[in-house]
Amino acid sequence: MKELKVRLIEKISRTPTVSSFKFIPAEKISFLPGQAAQIIFDESNRSNKDLNKYLSFSSSPGKNYIELTKRLSQSDFSIRLNNLKINDEVMLKAPLGGCVFEEKYKKITFLIGGIGITPVISIIEYIVEKKLDTQVKLFYSNRTEEEIAYKRELDNWQTNNKNIKVYYTITDCQPKDKTCSYGFINKEFLMENLCDLEQSMIFIFGPPKMVDVMSALSLEMGCAKESIKTEKFVGY
């Protein structure tokens, strides 16, 4: 783990409320797919939780840049982040977190809600770049179709890689896109689309309530506790 300056090189709007920020670090940051970083806006008070927050890497470790993605709100942190201009620098502490992908995993299943997609992108991009034969199933829930971040990238990956399959669910309205299902990720939906959940490593990222529900569901469906990796996204 180290602290270093990173320089903003690009902003990307993913959805009406989600944006990605690409940075060039002062030196190479070695991290594992699934890990996170802390952006430090208040260097004089490292315990300032309002201005120093944690964001997952949404790029694979093999890139020459790092990407961090956030659902923007009216918080002081979001405002500071969104107000960064190209070539502005900020302090970063990384890498952090142990909910990571390992190449020995041959089958992985993601149960994801909303902005929890960010570490998933890092993991899948890593699998694609390394040409691994890992079988990936992603169940990705959002309130509306407009809030599906990275849909173009995910669709492209599954089109070009037979080992990657994405299931989109929309909870707040009937989706217009026929590739999206209506409703929540539940036992019936998983049983319909997944026959070997208990043989897979399970990654669950998202809001705390969603993570708790999906963890309980995975255990109910026969998954071993040690096969379930979780990360609760709070304060975003």
* pLDDT tens, residue order, the chain (236 aa): 899 999 999 999 999 999 999 999 999 999 999 999 999 999 999 999 999 999 999 999 999 999 999 999 999 999 999 999 999 999 999 999 999 999 999 999 999 999 999 999 999 999 999 999 999 999 999 999 999 999 999 999 999 999 999 999 999 999 998 889 999 999 999 999 987 788 899 999 988 999 999 999 999 999 999 999 999 887 55
Looking at the fold, whether 38 and 154 belong to one and the same domain comes out as no
- Residue 102 counted as domain residue: no
- Residue 101 counted as domain residue: no
Looking at the fold, whether 119 and 65 belong to one and the same domain comes out as no
CA 184 – CA 205 distance, rounded (Å): 15
Residue 190's domain spans which residues?
A: 107-232
- Residue 179 counted as domain residue: yes
Looking at the fold, whether 111 and 202 belong to one and the same domain comes out as yes
CATH number at residue 21: 2.40.30.10
CATH number at residue 172: 3.40.50.80
- Residue 111 counted as domain residue: yes
Q: Model-level pTM?
A: 0.95
**What total of structural domains would you count in the chain?**
2
Looking at the fold, whether 39 and 122 belong to one and the same domain comes out as no
DSSP of the chain, one letter per residue? -EEEEEEEEEEEE-SSSEEEEEEEESSPPP--TT-EEEEES-TT-TT-TTTEEEEEB-S-TTSSSEEEEEE--SSHHHHHHHT--TT-EEEEEEEE-S----TT--EEEEEEEGGGHHHHHHHHHHHHHHT---EEEEEEEESSGGG-TTHHHHHHHHHH-TTEEEEEEESSS--SSTTEEES---HHHHHHH-S-GGGSEEEEEE-HHHHHHHHHHHHHTT--GGGEEEEE----
